[in-house]
């Protein structure tokens, strides 16, 4: 911190990166149009011509500059993670982590370190939909007082491959097939599953991709993982292995496949819009940073290799310590300048954080830097405002495309005497980065450790850790994905791999894809248990996670003229206080009149929204309102579709009649007492006589916190 003051810079705090970007921000209000050289322009609607109907003249510098800039406005999209959304925020550690790492941003609980986070899909192009089945990128840039630290991760803790040399093959296989450029943003095609069926090491990742984890409800409701094993190194040089986790405080929740597909058509920007609107409304996404720390002497105690990126450390063996919180509280000012141009690289570390010999990580240390050079025009991408650290940069790396810094002085080399030996080397005690002194020796060989060769134990662990509804959804996903595969031999090979994970899983998948499963007595590879392990891990199941918050949820209130104003206000107020958002949904935009004369504004009409855009629905009473809704097919479909997707449905007084019209009264009235004040059954909460009673409101909030009520999936013939 003293060095920062000496250099005339403020200490690092939450607003330091924001202030840093102010230099580059521009507001057009009250300004005149100019060229890039500052020349004011008085006409931009017509090019300069030789006569009214004559040819355009080459001397029209304004036309040429405007058109040239337009021709070059698009940079190459990322090969993977092309479609994303970003947000600014800050991170605060809870207490000093000096015992395990010298990283300064993990020392002082009073310091708010600025961050920029980019969430993304992996496979699709920039124009693809948000809700496709895919892994999600979760990359965080910490602007620390020691330089930038990039935690580049995903919402899935493992990866498809163990060695980065296979990454081009993986991406080529999963991208649209080269002969016809289809399908977009989807793994459901022959080339991907051909590759996977020949790569048993991918089976753990495949189980995650087929699970509901691959269709998150919101960026604020998905976990993040650093994937690789890194090292923490403390001031004394003592190292420990570390895995990074992001734990969302809104809980971990997913979409169902049917609504994910419908959202891709109704609003392909669903996840990006949800992130933007939540921040604009002050419902800031919050994540706790967690770490799993393993002592060096315990490196080999597990039945898997810590350097294998296709494996997790089960939380039951090494609990996740939550060491700090990240709050995302500001949207970007310009998508291209910030979200599109931000450049992450796992090689951007700070003192106290170091690498391991994970062969996938080692390859990423090369590829991330290499791809920025072509995508962002050359070696000066770090000078783009969003990528600039908040500390001063001094080195002898000059020139190149798009250089922003104007270096003064004669010397651009080291050692030198003409420049006073500057920029000089920083010793360890002044924050100089020192690589961990790991002993490395061995023959130059192309091979893989025997400890990397168990490809099925953790895939089985994942399968056995899921609840029955989660297992059913995974099987249905396999039916969809492999049902799109035309080559029968590929489907057969995949069943053989599923058999290795679990014979019953293979039988269930086989039932939907037209090829027989291996017999239950077909051989299963012997699992070599050479260390500690677990048979089940509840932490791998979303359904077994906490369900105690409705923060960030969206609730639709279906109403028409004549609605019960008191019921709407009571429920709406309670939901807002609990952190949820509500919207009035009706047939037309405009305002509605309550039965007692109050007016309320309609937020969305049926034609532009649907139940798939909400986490729950509420139907207030009011004879006239309910009578009108019962005649509207859109309203009945809204209720049925929400019910089909196992979402909470609430209704009060006359509003219960709309649920009965939608033919779900068998759930409303589970017993003979049909006139009960309050009935809560399978996520359907009704109050026949109440007017916003606290009991109804609390029961409805509890139903929303549970997210889905899977015991309703057994109800057949839901017309939605």
- Residues with active-site annotation: 81, 154
Bridge partners, residue 142, by sequence:
115, 149
Instruction: Give the relative orientation of helices 457-465 and 488-501 as an angle to the nearest 10 degrees.
Output: 80
Say if residues 707 and 551 touch (Cβ distance below 8 Å).
no
Rounded Cα gap, residues 490 and 199, in angstroms: 12
Which residue bears the tokens 């049925």? 640
Q: Hey, which bits of 221-310 come out as E strands?
A: 224-225, 230-233, 239-248, 286-295
**Pairing label, strands 136-144, 113-121:** antiparallel
Output the CA–CA distances (angstroms, integers) from residue 198 to 2, 133, 305, in the order listed.
56, 21, 22
Which residue bears the tokens 């939540």? 278
Whether the link from the prior residue into 612 is cis, omega within 30° of 0, is: no
Report, in angstroms and rounded to the nearest whole number, the Rg of the chain calculated over CA atoms. Answer: 29
Q: Around 710, how many Cα atoms within 13 Å sit in the side-chain half-sphere?
A: 13
Q: Dihedral of CA 118/123/128/131: which sign?
A: negative
The angle at the Cα of 339, spanning 335 to 341, to the nearest 5 degrees, equals 105
**Pairing label, strands 616-619, 649-652:** parallel
Rounded Cα gap, residues 219 and 216, in angstroms: 7
The angle at the Cα of 401, spanning 400 to 406, to the nearest 5 degrees, equals 65
The residues, any chain, with a CB within 8 Å of residue 278's CB and separated by 6 or more, are 218, 220, 284, 285, 552
Q: Report which of 439, 221, 438, 223 is spatially closest to residue 312, judged by C-alpha positions.
A: 223
Three-state DSSP at 220 gives helix
Rounded Cα gap, residues 322 and 92, in angstroms: 12
Output the CA–CA distances (angstroms, integers) from residue 405 to 8, 380, 396, 573, 599, in the order listed.
18, 9, 12, 53, 58
Say if residues 129 and 185 touch (Cβ distance below 8 Å).
yes
Q: Hey, which bits of 176-320 come out as E strands?
A: 224-225, 230-233, 239-248, 286-295
Rounded Cα gap, residues 72 and 554, in angstroms: 40
Three-state DSSP at 81 gives coil
CA dihedral 426, 428, 430, 431 (to 10 degrees): 90
Q: Dihedral of CA 456/457/458/459: which sign?
A: positive
The residues, any chain, with a CB within 8 Å of residue 424's CB and separated by 6 or more, are none
User: Phi first, then psi: what are they for 247, rounded to 5°?
Assistant: -110, 115
- Tally of helices (H runs) and strands (E runs) in the chain: 19, 19
CA dihedral 477, 480, 485, 488 (to 10 degrees): 80
What is the DSSP annotation of 1-63?
-HHHHHTT-PPP-TTHHHHHHHTT----TT---B-TTS-B-S--SS--BSSTTSPBPTT-HHH
């Amino acid at each position: 911190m003293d060095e920062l003051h000496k250099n005339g810079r403020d200490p690092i705090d939450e607003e330091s990166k924001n202030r840093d970007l102010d230099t580059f921000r521009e507001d057009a209000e009250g300004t005149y149009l100019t060229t890039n050289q500052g020349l004011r322009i008085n006409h931009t609607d017509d090019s300069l011509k030789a006569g009214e109907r004559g040819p355009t003249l080459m001397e029209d510098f304004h036309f040429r500059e405007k058109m040239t800039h337009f021709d070059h406005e698009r940079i190459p999209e990322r090969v993977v993670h092309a479609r994303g959304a970003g947000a600014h925020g800050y991170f605060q550690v809870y207490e000093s982590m000096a015992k395990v790492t010298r990283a300064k941003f993990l020392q002082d609980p009073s310091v708010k370190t600025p961050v920029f986070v980019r969430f993304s899909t992996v496979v699709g192009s920039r124009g693809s939909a948000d809700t496709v089945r895919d892994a999600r990128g979760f990359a965080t840039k910490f602007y620390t007082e020691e330089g930038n630290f990039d935690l580049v991760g995903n919402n899935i803790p493992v990866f498809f491959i163990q060695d980065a040399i296979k990454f081009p093959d993986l991406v080529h296989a999963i991208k649209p097939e080269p002969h016809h450029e289809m399908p977009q943003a989807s793994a459901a095609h022959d080339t991907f599953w051909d590759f996977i069926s020949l790569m048993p090491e991918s089976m753990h990742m495949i189980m995650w991709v087929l699970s509901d984890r691959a269709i998150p409800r919101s960026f604020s409701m998905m976990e993040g993982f650093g994937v690789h094993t890194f090292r923490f190194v403390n001031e004394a040089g003592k190292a420990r292995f570390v895995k990074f986790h992001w734990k969302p405080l809104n809980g971990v929740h997913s979409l169902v496949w049917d609504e994910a597909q419908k959202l891709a058509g109704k609003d392909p920007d669903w996840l990006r819009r949800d992130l933007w609107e939540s921040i604009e409304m002050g419902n800031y996404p919050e994540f706790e940073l967690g770490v799993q720390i393993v002592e060096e002497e315990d490196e080999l105690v597990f039945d898997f290799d810590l350097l294998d990126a296709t494996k997790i450390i089960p939380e039951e063996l090494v609990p996740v310590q939550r060491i700090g919180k990240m709050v995302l509280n500001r949207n970007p000012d310009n998508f291209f300048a910030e979200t599109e141009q931000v450049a992450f690289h796992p090689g951007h570390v700070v003192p106290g954080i170091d690498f391991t010999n994970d062969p996938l990580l080692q390859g990423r240390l090369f590829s991330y830097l290499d791809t920025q050079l072509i995508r962002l025009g050359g070696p000066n991408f770090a000078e783009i405002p969003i990528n600039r650290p908040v500390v001063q940069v001094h080195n002898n790396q000059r020139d190149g495309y798009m250089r922003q810094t104007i270096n003064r002085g004669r010397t651009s080399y080291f050692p030198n005497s003409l420049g006073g030996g500057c920029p000089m080397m920083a010793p360890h005690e002044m924050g100089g980065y020192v690589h961990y002194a790991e002993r490395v020796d061995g023959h130059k060989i192309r091979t893989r450790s025997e400890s990397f060769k168990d490809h099925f134990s953790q895939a089985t662990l994942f399968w056995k850790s899921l609840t029955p509804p989660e297992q059913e959804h995974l099987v249905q996903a396999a039916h969809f994905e492999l049902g799109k595969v035309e080559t029968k031999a590929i489907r057969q090979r995949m069943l053989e791999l599923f058999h290795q994970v679990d014979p019953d899983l293979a039988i269930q998948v086989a039932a939907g894809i037209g090829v027989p499963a291996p017999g239950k007595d077909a051989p299963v590879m012997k699992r070599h248990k050479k260390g500690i392990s677990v048979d089940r891990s509840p932490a791998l199941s979303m359904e077994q996670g906490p369900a105690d918050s409705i923060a960030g949820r969206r609730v639709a209130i279906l109403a028409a003229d004549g609605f019960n104003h008191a019921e709407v206000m009571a429920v709406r107020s309670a939901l807002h206080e609990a952190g949820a958002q509500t919207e009035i949904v009706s047939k037309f935009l405009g305002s509605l009149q309550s039965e007692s004369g109050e007016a309320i504004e309609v937020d969305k009409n049926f034609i532009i929204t649907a139940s798939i855009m909400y986490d729950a629905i509420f139907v207030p009473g009011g004879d006239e309102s309910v009578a009108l809704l019962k005649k509207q097919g859109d309203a009945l479909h809204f209720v049925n579709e929400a019910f089909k997707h196992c979402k909470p449905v609430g209704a009060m007084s006359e509003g219960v009649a709309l649920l009965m019209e939608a033919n779900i009264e068998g759930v409303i009235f589970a017993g003979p007492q049909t006139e009960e004040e309050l009935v809560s059954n399978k996520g359907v909460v009704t109050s026949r006589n109440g007017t916003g009673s606290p009991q109804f409101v609390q029961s409805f909030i509890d139903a929303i916190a549970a997210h889905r009520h899977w015991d309703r999936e057994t109800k057949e013939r839901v017309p939605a």
